[in-house]
């Protein structure tokens, strides 16, 4: 990831929250992580000062030509799904896609990617309130209405504003591994990986007392993954009936209790596998799978690779992290 340039697009009526999430993830230097962090820059979609949501005005230092040098491009929302972006911007996005750059959109930013014509045959997502409009405008693009984010062939799209954080942390996880992504999430004081889909965030109230009991149960399971949890033991600890537990799990996470438990164990296994000093059998035990065979089966189904291959892919990051130094590059090209 040395010298990896992340470019965020700024435009008039900029979505401030989505833009702020991008800045927080990639613009801050993080020497405590002891890895080669990203370079970050902002380019303007149009000339002049840019008004942003909240009554502020910003001035981007670079023009659209910076997109030509970007490794990752992020579109933090778009001001109006019914407005066709400028042809110059759409051409830059098409050219970047053609050369293999990674292109990401948050929330309504997917309308920009669709207008650029790079989503043909792809599956994408956006905020649930834009789903019907997007499907009408682009009926040939498959829309996954409940996903928090979709990662497909160097194009990533996220749902509503906060789901952008999930997608951006996913980028960090892909580039640097789960350990580094978890450390970044801790600094942000957010969950390193949210389960379920955006259906859980649509209007569907849940009693506060039951929500608190479920949250406590989830926290306890995450800290005791090695125990043999089942529906009976989970319902007993949450002081709910099995039927209530299943209903509230689905309302909160979009998953059945057993499916949520497996995802948690896979997430724990991923982090443990990044340490070369823990054997596969120990990982299986510590994550609560009971056997390597069970871990391999669930791991391959959810991560689409084997635990051993995952370890080979990311172990160097964990093993060498202490020896790495942050590399700061001053790119003279950016100042041309």
CATH number for position 263: 1.10.10.60
Residue range 310-318: mean pLDDT, rounded: 65
How do residues 174-222 score in pLDDT, each as one tens digit? 898 888 888 898 888 777 666 544 433 333 334 445 567 888 898 899 8
CA 250-183-165 angle, 5° bins: 50
Q: What distance in Å separates the CA atoms of residue 178 and residue 170, rounded to the nearest whole number? A: 9
- Assess if residue 199 is contained within a domain: no
- Cα–Cα dist 257/221, whole Å: 11
* 324 vs 309, higher pLDDT: 309
What pLDDT, on a 0 to 100 scale, did the predictor assign at position 201?
38
- The CATH number of residue 59's host domain is 3.40.50.880
Average pLDDT over every residue of 94-112:
97
**Residue 115 forms part of a structural domain:** yes
Q: 174 and 87 in one domain?
A: yes
Shared-domain flag, residues 137 and 21: yes
Is residue 333 in some structural domain? no
Q: Which helix (H) or strand (E) holds 179?
A: helix 178-188
Give residue 102's pLDDT: 97
Q: Based on the fold, state whether residues 302 and 162 are members of the same structural domain.
A: no
- Taking the C-alpha atoms of residue 103 and residue 134, their distance in angstroms, rounded to an integer, is 19
Give the pLDDT mean for 134-150.
91
pLDDT of residue 309: 86
What is the per-residue pLDDT across 251-293, written as a single tens digit (0 to 9) for each?
Answer: 777 789 999 999 999 989 988 888 888 899 999 999 999 999 9
Residue 257's closest CA among 236, 240, 237, 235? 235
- Average of per-residue pLDDT across 290-309: 90
Domain hosting residue 231, numbered range:
204-321
Q: Look at residue 1 in the predicted model and tell me its pLDDT.
A: 62
Locate 247 and state its tokens.
Answer: 């209903």
With 0-12 / 13-18 / 19 or more C-beta atoms within 10 angstroms meaning exposed / middle / buried, residue 245 is: buried
At 305 the pLDDT is 85
Residue 55 shares a structural domain with residue 155? yes
Whether residue 149 sits in one domain with residue 282 = no
């Amino acid at each position: 990831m040395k010298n990896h340039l992340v470019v965020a697009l700024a435009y008039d009526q900029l979505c401030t929250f989505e833009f702020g999430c991008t800045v927080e993830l990639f613009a801050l230097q993080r020497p405590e992580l002891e890895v080669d962090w990203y370079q970050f820059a902002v380019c303007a979609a149009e000339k002049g000062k840019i008004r942003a949501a909240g009554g502020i005005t910003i001035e981007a230092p670079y023009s659209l030509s910076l997109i030509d040098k970007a490794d990752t491009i992020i579109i933090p929302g778009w001001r109006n799904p019914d407005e066709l972006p400028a042809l110059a911007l759409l051409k830059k996005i098409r050219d970047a896609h053609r050369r293999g750059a990674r292109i990401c959109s948050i929330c309504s930013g997917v309308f920009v990617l669709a207008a650029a014509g790079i989503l043909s045959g792809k599956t994408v997502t956006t905020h649930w309130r834009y789903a019907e409009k997007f499907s009408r405008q682009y009926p040939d693009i498959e829309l996954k209405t409940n996903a928090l984010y979709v990662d497909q062939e160097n194009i990533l799209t996220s749902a509503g504003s906060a789901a952008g954080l999930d997608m951006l942390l996913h980028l960090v996880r892909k580039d640097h591994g789960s350990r580094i992504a978890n450390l970044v999430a801790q600094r942000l004081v957010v969950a390193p990986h949210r389960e379920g889909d955006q259906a859980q965030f649509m209007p569907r109230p849940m009693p506060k007392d039951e929500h608190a009991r479920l949250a406590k149960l989830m926290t306890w399971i995450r800290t005791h993954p090695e125990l043999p949890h089942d529906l009976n033991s989970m319902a007993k600890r949450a002081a709910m009936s099995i039927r209530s537990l299943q209903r509230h799990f689905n309302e909160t996470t979009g998953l059945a209790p057993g499916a949520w438990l497996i995802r948690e164990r896979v997430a724990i296994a991923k982090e443990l596998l990044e340490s070369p000093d823990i054997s596969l059998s120990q990982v299986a035990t510590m994550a609560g799978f009971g056997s390597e065979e069970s871990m391999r089966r669930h791991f391959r189904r959810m991560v689409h690779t084997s635990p051993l291959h995952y370890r080979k892919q990311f172990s160097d990051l964990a093993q060498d992290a202490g020896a790495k130094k942050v590399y700061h590059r001053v790119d003279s090209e950016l100042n041309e």
